[in-house]
Amino acid sequence: MNVRVIIPGILLSLTISGCSQRGRNNPLDPQNPETRGRPTGLTVISEKHNVTLTWNSISLRGVLGYRLYRWIWGINSSKKIYFIPSDSSSFIDKDLPYDQKITYRLSVVSSGYESPLSDSVSITPGPYNYWLVDNYDGIVFRLTYDGMHILTESSYIPQPISVSADSFSQTAWVVNSIGYLFKFSSNGKILLTIKELDHPSNVDVDVSNNLVWIVDQSSTSVVRYDLNGNFLGVTRNFGEISDISSAGSSKGCWVADIKEKKIIFLSTDGEEKLSVDCTAPRAVSCYRRDGWLWVADSLELLRIWPDGKLEKIAKLDFPVVSLSTDQRTGNCWGITEADRGKNQVVKLSVDGTLITKVKGFYYARSLIANSFNGGCLVADTGNGRVVRVSENGSIIGTLDNFFTPWDIAVE
Choose between 99 and 338: higher pLDDT: 99
The Cα 333–Cα 335 span in angstroms is: 7
Phi first, then psi, for residue 104 (nearest 5°) are -130, 145
CATH number, domain containing residue 44: 2.60.40.10
| pTM (two decimals) | 0.91
What mean pLDDT, rounded, does the chain reach?
92
Let me know if residue 20 belongs to a domain.
Answer: no
156 and 264 share a domain? yes
148 and 83 share a domain? no
Query: In angstroms, what CA-CA distances link 209 with 166, 200, 252, 253, 289?
Result: 12, 21, 8, 11, 15
User: Which residues lie closer than 8 Å to 185 by C-beta, 6 or more apart?
Assistant: 170, 171, 191
pLDDT at 315 over 90: yes
95 and 218 share a domain? no
For residues 68 and 52, the answer to whether their CB atoms sit within 8 Å is: no
Summarize pLDDT for 36-51 with one digit per residue, the tens.
668 999 999 999 999 9
Which of these three, 123, 150, 178, is where a domain ends? 123
For the chain, the domain total comes to 2
Which of these three, 123, 149, 174, is where a domain ends? 123
Let me know if residue 23 belongs to a domain.
Answer: no
Over range 2-11, report the average pLDDT: 52
Over range 380-390, report the average pLDDT: 98
User: Which residues lie closer than 8 Å to 87 by C-beta, 6 or more apart?
Assistant: none
Residue 351 pLDDT: 97
Summarize pLDDT for 196-238 with one digit per residue, the tens.
999 999 999 999 999 999 999 999 999 999 999 999 999 999 9
Residues of the domain holding 61: 35-123
CATH number, domain containing residue 179: 2.130.10.10
Indicate left, alpha or beta for 169 from its phi (over 0: left) and psi (-120 to 50: alpha): alpha
Residue 22 pLDDT: 44
232 and 309 share a domain? yes
Summarize pLDDT for 328-371 with one digit per residue, the tens.
999 999 999 988 899 999 999 999 999 999 999 999 999 999 99
Over range 43-72, report the average pLDDT: 94
**285 closest CA partner among 322, 337, 324:** 324
117 and 136 share a domain? no
